[in-house]
Structure 1
Amino acid sequence: MIQKFDRNDRRILKFPAVHPCEGISPAILLQSLINLSYNICGYQSKIFASQRKNAREIFRQVSILLMFFEDIQERRPNVLDSVVLSLSELHSTFQKIQFLMEDCTREDARIWILMKAHFVSNQFQDLIRAIATALDVLPLRSIHVSNEVKELVELLSKQARKVKMELDEEDENALKRVILILNQFENKFEPEPCLIKKILDYLDIRTWTDCHREIKFLDEEISMEYSKSDGREVPLLSSLVGFLNYCRAVLFEDCDFRYVDQSEVKSNLEMLSCLNLEDFRCPISFELMTDPVIIPTGQTYDRASIQKWLKSGNLSCPKTGEMLTSTELVPNTSLRNLIQQFCAEYGISLYKSRMKNRDISRTISPGSPSYAEAMKFLAEFLDRRLYWGSSYQKNKAAYEIRLLTKSNIFNRSCLIETGTILPLVKLLTSTDPSTQENVISALLKLSKDSSGKKEIIENRGLKFIVGLLKDGLKLETRQIAAATIFYLSSDNEYRKLIGEQRETIPSLLDIIKEGTTCGKKNAVVAIFGLLLDQKNRQSVLEAGTVPLLVELLVSSSDKVELKTDTLAVLATLADSIDGSIAIMQASGLPSIMKLLQSITSPAGKEYCVSILHSLCINCGVDVASVLAKDESLMSALYALLTEGTSHASKKAHLLIRILHKFCETSSSRLIRGVRHEQFVDVR
């Protein structure tokens, strides 16, 4: 039996060959070897950006052995155990050869294979020696094959022992050129484009798309390296990413604007329905803190984020700018316990959150000096393009910023410091749909940085963002603008300014009416962010938000996250008498009662019971009488006492007390009414 390895899980330049099982049928082993040989020879038609000479030698040897295997199969002789042993060793070696061929011909790893050229050459040498060793113990005389094939195999065995798989001179020169360019970046010297072009042409990286693929591969490798204890490859990988980011933006004019991850449009708002979530976010990474610590200024940060900040040479508080008297980090135990409780109650994986935080927090500082300087050159180039480029060049520059800032904190800060926000804000008035989308997407990423928010507001970007929210030429553009509004509203001061823009709330409501599920969610959480300022609540009510949200609860039947976010907004509005009345007038009570019993989200149940409690408090017996008549509702409330979140349990307890008191009061009134009738003289 031949075991198989899942090739999708294999990391590049790892060769997890599976040895054939003991007692394997010679016929099966032979057929598997033939299949492997054909697979290896099939790589001859593919492009080898490097290692061409070594690959040719491998193909020659495998082709000869393929003839040998097929000759054995045709003659069908009795195969001795010693022959099976040798063929098993060849089988394991051929698997490794196939893995190596696969890696050397990858379309997205050409520069990495070049940088690992010496290691790859050593692998070729080891595999050739493994073939020689297997052939040394092969009892060739006992195998019935033609004399011609036997002579070829004997000659191959001798050559395999002597052949030297060395690095091709052209590969060596290309490798030296890449190292030279990385050193130039590190020394703050911008390389000559002609030198860069020679390397890219040698590796057959000829288009923007080719370059982008290489960057994506290297980013994935960096993530894998950070999951290891040493991460020793990170500086080199980061340097290459910086180099290729520069190449993609500066050297390739033609751009494929389709390379946008659709998850980006969702703007990572999955957890924004929770009222206290903002208190749990790290001010540096804007991600959920998993290990909060306090620094001497009294501010709290996630440990991984602040450590990266300090290691990069910063000795000030990122939030206040105060100089630190010491770098001591004091665990914020109470906040950590709250976060752990929060994650447990809402079914959030703390492990996944920690991994996500690690991925984003690793980008607070550049992975290497070469990356940092390449990014600075690139930021200046993009800034110039945004000011002085053609319409196409400005659009491409915005798109490059969109890609660079997607999940990299250092890139965001570098582009903000260079001054790219002002020209981006000016481009918001563009009449080109593609430019509008790319510019607002870039500003969305930059708005996650506290300095980015400030720059957007101070450069009068809010007015233009609200304009796109209302009149963007593409629905996607308007939806991304809604997400940007949310991030801007995370600041107390800006929240008030956003609410004062007359078009903000009506435009968000239009997206709730017309948008995709993702767009509706963006608009709902943006409204939720605005409601954190009490002054915005009346404006939200007057805009007719409540009837639309109640309708959304019914229409989004299978969208649990969207329902939960909608309930969060309604729960906030229900705190006031006007909000409760609006919910009652919109006939929201039956829908919320039904959702309490049907929604699967723990947060959704919490918001439902919170709304019902507020309605009872603010609207009195009209609500209590309806709730008291529903026996199934009472069962759901009692279930929340033991199964709900701590907040839901508390609200359920209060609501049950209100309903019991209402029932007791109603019974007393009824009894008094009956007694009174008994003594009335009816004559």
Structure 2
Amino acid sequence: MSNATTGSRKIFSLPAVTPSTSVNSVSLIHVLSLLADDVLALRGAAFPVHRKYAREALRQVVVIREFLADVVAEALPASAFVGLAELHVALQKLGHLLRDLARPGARLWVLVNSDRVSNNFRALFRSVATALEVLPLGAASPEVMELVQLVAEQAWKAEGGTLPSDALAARIVWSALALFENGIEPDPIDLNDLMEHLQIRSWSDCSEEITFLEDLFFDCEENEAASIGSLEALMAYCRATLFDADDHNKRTGGNQFKALHRPVNHVNLDDLRCPISLELMLDPVTIATGQTYDRASISKWLKSGCLTCPVTGKKLTDTTFVSNYAVQHLVEQLCASKNLSFPEPNSKQKRDGSKTATPPSSAAAGAMKMAAAFLVRKLAFPTSLEQRRAAFEVRRLSKSNVFNRACLVEAGAVPWLLHLSSSMDSSTQDNAMAALLNLSKHPSGARAIVEVGGLGLVVDVIRLTFKVEAQQNAVAILFYLSLVEEYRAAIGDLPEAIPLLVELMREGSYRGKKNAIVTIFGLSLCSSNQVKILESGAVPALMALLSGQEKGNLANDSMAVLAKIAEHPDGTAKILCYDGAISRLVEFFRSTGTSRSGRESCVSALLSLCVNGGAEVVELLRSMPVVMPPLYSLVTEGSPQAGKKARSLLNRIHEV
């Protein structure tokens, strides 16, 4: 059975080390005392489930500790080792089990595994009783000896089974899941009773449970997914309907998203892993469905004859790729911040995103649909407080779960979030735009934004908002929409869309520039947008980024857009009008800071300039011998496509 980990140990696993027979009694008594103290340190912990067993275990350890403090180790006979060794194992296991019970995020999981937990306690109590019976109690004082004998006798009599209060709480869980399965909302009084029993009293407490169950879900076997996913959905429903995020906001100084906007620290590693290989995406590409994969993995997938999107299951009528330079930059920035080349993913970070594309059970589906409907009703409330809370919850639920996104779109969240995008409350606006960004990653979400006339509202946020985060999310929404061929022209038809993106490339923050560049790239794939991009001054802005202070990833991204622009005669003409354009491109091509993808884009641009610009461009390149070594290097070390273009460019340069 799969379990979430507690440190390096999986929950409900109770590993223990048996002491070596070479250990003397003095050392063993000392180690046992330390183990007992470690267990007794949990006396102040909350035990919402199995309270009676936890208290009994701690009472036994108190008596054991008194015995260990009272006994004279040197006076113990050699035969005492058997009992002491048994205690050594039992104390380790009791410590593990009590820590599992005290773990805040695992309360619901402990409850639904009550039979297993109670059986563990019963077995451990008997181990303690066995150990105490074989110990030479004469080595202790009469008072302690009498107390130990009493504990041993009671430990033998300890009964197993789920406690009545826990059984009642568990029945609420199973009843709620059955109601979800049948499309019926559970009684909120019952759910409140369940939360009170588990001592889940705030939004943050509930979130801890969801995080734990989510980790468990991604680490579980296929036959466990339905039950774990159902419990996670139950907690998500409770968080949405019973709690609000105010307590969480207060704990984070009133800005619940402060961490989200730190350059690298906010990044979720799972978002940077390919859903196919589960490795960091070193060459990320986005396909027609809007999903991003590592180029090698998705290429192998398609070559094997699978013409569907691995995550959404949607049939691919268009198998072309669009390089996702935004994701590539995040991976490179992350590695640079850690002083690593490319780290190997660990097992906990491996997440199969396709596991969330469909509900794990009908109960989970029912719970999420009802939670989505509840939140949409809250979004429609006339009070800004309720709207802000609902928008924040939508943001959280849609962050990484594909099915959650589908439910929220189906429930009608998109129109209300678009309405809140113009809210005068900056927090509400920020939450709404972040939620819309998450929903835009789902095909139905992107479609809903366009069909309800949301494109203009998104552009208005870029133009009018004073909060950088909301503006950046708005640009990111346009990026995801630009991945859909039929929406590219609609975005370009908005008079202010492309000029605003070009302005962001000039004056925006790093992330703003990044999002604007990749969005312009997506829009450039539509022929009707090409003239608009040129007329908006994109070429000078992109050329400036090639050698500006933001050298590196922004320059590589800019080069990719310039390569696309250069494919057309009008684009070539605009680039050649820029003073020193060819020299600037050659300098970029030779720079040690230019990535492989940047060099490949540059070769593509230079070749297009030669084709469309004629002999004058070729002659200019011929007069720059410094371009030759990196060109030959690309022929031998670049991708097949880049090598082919490099050879073609070399042939043109060498032609007499």
Give me the TM-score of the superposition, normalised by structure 2: 0.83
> 1:257-287, CA deviations, whole angstroms, 9 ceiling, x for partnerless residues?
55557357999589999999444x6x39665
How far apart in 2 are the matches of 1:638 and 1:318? 40
Equivalence for 1:416: 409
Q: Quick check: 1:60 aligned with 2:53? A: no
Equivalence for 2:428: 435
Q: Quick check: 1:446 aligned with 2:439? A: yes
Equivalence for 1:31: 30
Cα offset for 1:466? Answer: 0.6
Equivalence for 1:611: 605
User: Which runs of no fewer than 5 residues in structure 2 stay unpaired?
Assistant: 250-254, 261-265, 275-279, 322-327, 333-340
How far apart in 2 are the matches of 1:592 and 1:24? 73
Counterparts of residues 173-572 of structure 1 (less than 5 Å): 173-225=168-220, 228=221, 231-255=222-246, 256=248, 262=260, 263=266, 277-279=285-287, 283=289, 290=298, 292=301, 300-302=307-309, 305-306=312-313, 359-555=352-548, 559-560=552-553, 562-572=554-564
What RMSD over aligned residues (CA atoms) do the two structures have, in Å?
Answer: 3.8
Cα offset for 1:187? Answer: 2.1
Cα offset for 1:438? Answer: 1.4
Cα offset for 1:479? Answer: 0.7
Q: Quick check: 1:135 aligned with 2:132? A: yes
Cα offset for 1:426? Answer: 2.1
Q: Could you say if the C-alpha distance between residues 208 and 369 of structure 1 is closer, same or farther in structure 2, counting changes exceeding 3 Å?
A: same
How far apart in 1 are the matches of 2:463 and 2:123? 64
Number of residues paired by the alignment? 614
Cα offset for 1:253? Answer: 4.0
Amino acid across the alignment from 1:477: A
* Contact 1:609/1:652 (<8 A) preserved: yes
Equivalence for 1:677: none
Which of 89, 92, 111 is the equivalent residue of 1:92? Answer: 89
How far apart in 2 are the matches of 1:299 and 1:450? 20
* Contact 1:386/1:397 (<8 A) preserved: yes
Secondary structure (helix, strand or coil) at the match of 1:300 reads coil
* Contact 1:479/1:515 (<8 A) preserved: no
Secondary structure (helix, strand or coil) at the match of 1:301 reads coil
Equivalence for 2:44: 45
Amino acid across the alignment from 1:209: S
* Contact 1:640/1:649 (<8 A) preserved: yes
* Contact 2:285/2:292 (<8 A) preserved: no
* Contact 2:219/2:348 (<8 A) preserved: no
* Contact 1:275/1:568 (<8 A) preserved: no
Counterparts of residues 70-149 of structure 1 (less than 5 Å): 70-72=69-71, 75=72, 77=74, 82-140=79-137, 144-149=139-144
Greater shift in the superposed pair: 150-159 or 105-114: 150-159
* Contact 1:129/1:161 (<8 A) preserved: yes
How far apart in 2 are the matches of 1:38 and 1:45? 13
How far apart in 1 are the matches of 2:618 and 2:22? 77
Greater shift in the superposed pair: 369-378 or 47-56: 369-378
Equivalence for 2:151: 156
Cα offset for 1:185? Answer: 1.8
> 1:242-265, CA deviations, whole angstroms, 9 ceiling, x for partnerless residues?
222222222224533555573579
Cα offset for 1:135? Answer: 3.5
Amino acid across the alignment from 2:62: S
* Contact 2:18/2:88 (<8 A) preserved: yes
Amino acid across the alignment from 1:63: V
Q: Could you say if the C-alpha distance between residues 274 and 166 of structure 1 is closer, same or farther in structure 2, counting changes exceeding 3 Å?
A: closer
Secondary structure (helix, strand or coil) at the match of 2:308 reads strand
Amino acid across the alignment from 2:173: V
Cα offset for 1:150? Answer: 3.6
Q: Could you say if the C-alpha distance between residues 112 and 274 of structure 1 is closer, same or farther in structure 2, counting changes exceeding 3 Å?
A: closer
Equivalence for 2:568: 576
Q: Could you say if the C-alpha distance between residues 543 and 611 of structure 1 is closer, same or farther in structure 2, counting changes exceeding 3 Å?
A: same
Equivalence for 2:68: 69
Equivalence for 2:337: none
> 1:314-352, CA deviations, whole angstroms, 9 ceiling, x for partnerless residues?
xxx7789xxxxxxxxxxx9x999xxxxxx9xx9999x98
Cα offset for 1:304? Answer: 6.7
How far apart in 1 are the matches of 2:472 and 2:52? 53
Amino acid across the alignment from 2:533: V
> 1:75-106, CA deviations, whole angstroms, 9 ceiling, x for partnerless residues?
45276655445434433332222221211111
Cα offset for 1:360? Answer: 2.2
Q: Percent identity?
A: 36
Which of 611, 627, 633 is the equivalent residue of 1:639? Answer: 633
Secondary structure (helix, strand or coil) at the match of 1:406 reads coil
Amino acid across the alignment from 2:307: T
Instruction: Answer with 1 or 2: which has the greater Rg.
Output: 1
Q: Could you say if the C-alpha distance between residues 543 and 148 of structure 1 is closer, same or farther in structure 2, counting changes exceeding 3 Å?
A: same
How far apart in 1 are the matches of 2:81 and 2:506? 70
How far apart in 1 are the matches of 2:347 and 2:489? 33
How far apart in 2 are the matches of 1:613 and 1:273? 28
Cα offset for 1:37? Answer: 1.5
Greater shift in the superposed pair: 577-586 or 385-394: 577-586
Q: Could you say if the C-alpha distance between residues 488 and 335 of structure 1 is closer, same or farther in structure 2, counting changes exceeding 3 Å?
A: closer
Amino acid across the alignment from 2:632: Y
How far apart in 1 are the matches of 2:509 and 2:357? 33
Cα offset for 1:518? Answer: 3.1
How far apart in 1 are the matches of 2:152 and 2:283? 72
Greater shift in the superposed pair: 488-497 or 410-419: 410-419
Greater shift in the superposed pair: 412-421 or 10-19: 10-19
How far apart in 2 are the matches of 1:604 and 1:22? 65
Q: Could you say if the C-alpha distance between residues 205 and 535 of structure 1 is closer, same or farther in structure 2, counting changes exceeding 3 Å?
A: same
Secondary structure (helix, strand or coil) at the match of 1:134 reads helix
Cα offset for 1:211? Answer: 1.4
Amino acid across the alignment from 2:127: A
Amino acid across the alignment from 2:192: K
Q: Could you say if the C-alpha distance between residues 523 and 182 of structure 1 is closer, same or farther in structure 2, counting changes exceeding 3 Å?
A: same
How far apart in 2 are the matches of 1:372 and 1:393? 25
How far apart in 2 are the matches of 1:270 and 1:580? 36
Q: Could you say if the C-alpha distance between residues 410 and 31 of structure 1 is closer, same or farther in structure 2, counting changes exceeding 3 Å?
A: same
How far apart in 2 are the matches of 1:18 and 1:647? 58
Cα offset for 1:53? Answer: 0.6
Equivalence for 1:669: none
Amino acid across the alignment from 1:34: S
Equivalence for 1:650: 644
Q: Could you say if the C-alpha distance between residues 214 and 426 of structure 1 is closer, same or farther in structure 2, counting changes exceeding 3 Å?
A: same
* Contact 2:356/2:403 (<8 A) preserved: yes
User: Which runs of no fewer than 5 residues in structure 1 stay unpaired?
Assistant: 1-5, 307-316, 321-331, 337-342, 666-683
Amino acid across the alignment from 2:438: K
* Contact 1:269/1:522 (<8 A) preserved: no
Q: Could you say if the C-alpha distance between residues 112 and 538 of structure 1 is closer, same or farther in structure 2, counting changes exceeding 3 Å?
A: same
Secondary structure (helix, strand or coil) at the match of 1:108 reads helix
How far apart in 2 are the matches of 1:31 and 1:587? 79
Give me the TM-score of the superposition, normalised by structure 1: 0.80
How far apart in 1 are the matches of 2:445 and 2:561? 27
Q: Could you say if the C-alpha distance between residues 273 and 601 of structure 1 is closer, same or farther in structure 2, counting changes exceeding 3 Å?
A: farther
Greater shift in the superposed pair: 455-464 or 254-263: 254-263
Cα offset for 1:648? Answer: 1.7
